[in-house]
Structure 1
Amino acid sequence: MRPVFTPSGPITDPVTKFGGQPVWLDTPTWPLSRELGTQMRFLGQIALPGERLVYLFMTEDEEYVDDTWEPEGGENACLVQPGPVPSFLRVSDQATGPTYGPDFAVDLMPTRGETGSADNLVGGYPEWVQNNDWPEGDYRFLAQFGDLPFEKQPNFGDAGTGYAFVDEMAGEGRFLWQCH
């Protein structure tokens, strides 16, 4: 499915959206940068079946921070609620924090057999920029994003793409990115 982003006022329902502030289903678990100790920047949230949400975050700061591309580097996060916080992350209970921009509602449109490169995709199979970098374990592909609706794009490197994966049994996610 291809996401279509529509500018919106604040979205406070537990639905798929990008930008704005997270709609927490449980106690807030805002991830902190391993290197800087500051809050990561909120990208968006994706609804899962069974009243669950996946929250995507990435460290984005004026000073360079290494390992934002690594799924367990402590500089990005794919959190599932309800679910445990992965052991490699530090979190705070702050409900709000830095974001990439205002709320954008998301509608998912069928791909109808399209082929070729997809900047944004929810479900299906990832279209890798480089090599297959599937996280170890029982993760399934959730989404990829290379062109988000924000004025300031996330730094996925040179024409890069971010990839989100979820292990629904463990209740954990992983987020990584690749670039050219």
Structure 2
Amino acid sequence: MPTSNTTARQRLRFAEAAGPITEPVTKFGGQPVWLDEPTWPLSASTGRPMRFLGQVRLPGDEPRLGYLFITDEEDYVDGTWEPGGGENAFFAQPGEPADFYRVASIRRGPTFGLDHRAELTEHDGAGEYGSALWGEPDWLQGDEAPDEPGTWRFVLQIDSADEPFEVDFGDAGVGYAFLDEKTGQGRFLWQCG
């Protein structure tokens, strides 16, 4: 189960940036700001690079980023909703990717669009399916937090209605990202209404 979380919940909105964002901050779109060697995840079914969706600045004095990727092909690829299916990836640097997908040393790759900076504001409570960081997730279909060994922390909830890009999370879907704070491995899944 996820550990309790001391970081205050924040509402997440997006605004298109004037140019590429190259600092280790929370952003969506553009290219990843790698803190270590690039480790671009590859789709388990096609072998091609997944599409970069965004990165989240993780708490702490030293920069640490959580990176989010998802398979998005011209032809439908099943299983992008599944946390261990190899069609999405969430991991931290410093840290390591999970072993259920391969990675390549690619610095730049497919993305959903131009850089969008994150605008964070205080979140006034649970029970809302909007995009948010930290706190506790608002589940659409029931709790699917990782139950495997690890020190899991809820990081991100992204509502498809809030995204600056068209990403397939099903019908009115919401995505959820968790991170094992010790290893930097993550899990991502989405549920739809």
Structure 1 gaps, min length 5: none
Pick the aligned partner of 2:79 from 57, 64, 67.
Answer: 67
Pick the aligned partner of 2:16 from 7, 10, 14.
Answer: 7
1:30 aligns with 2:37: no
Amino acid at match of 1:24: W
Distance 1:115 1:126, change over 3 A: closer
Distance 1:85 1:128 in 2: 25
Distance 2:167 2:78 in 1: 14
Question: Under a length normalisation based on structure 1, what TM-score does the superposition of the two structures give?
Answer: 0.94
- Comparing 66-75 with 116-125, which one deviates more in the overlay? 116-125
- Comparing 128-137 with 17-26, which one deviates more in the overlay? 128-137
Maintained 8 Å contact 2:129/2:174: no
Following TM superposition, by how much is the alpha carbon of 1:115 offset from its aligned partner in structure 2, in angstroms? 4.9
Pick the aligned partner of 1:96 from 108, 124, 145.
Answer: 108
1:160 aligns with 2:173: yes
Distance 1:87 1:24 in 2: 19
Pick the aligned partner of 1:120 from 123, 131, 151.
Answer: 131
Distance 1:83 1:140 in 2: 14
1:41 aligns with 2:56: no
Aligned to 1:129: 140
- Comparing 22-31 with 115-124, which one deviates more in the overlay? 115-124
Distance 1:45 1:130 in 2: 25
Distance 1:12 1:161 in 2: 27
- Alignment RMSD: 1.1
Pick the aligned partner of 2:157 from 133, 144, 147.
Answer: 144
The number of residues matched between the two structures is 177
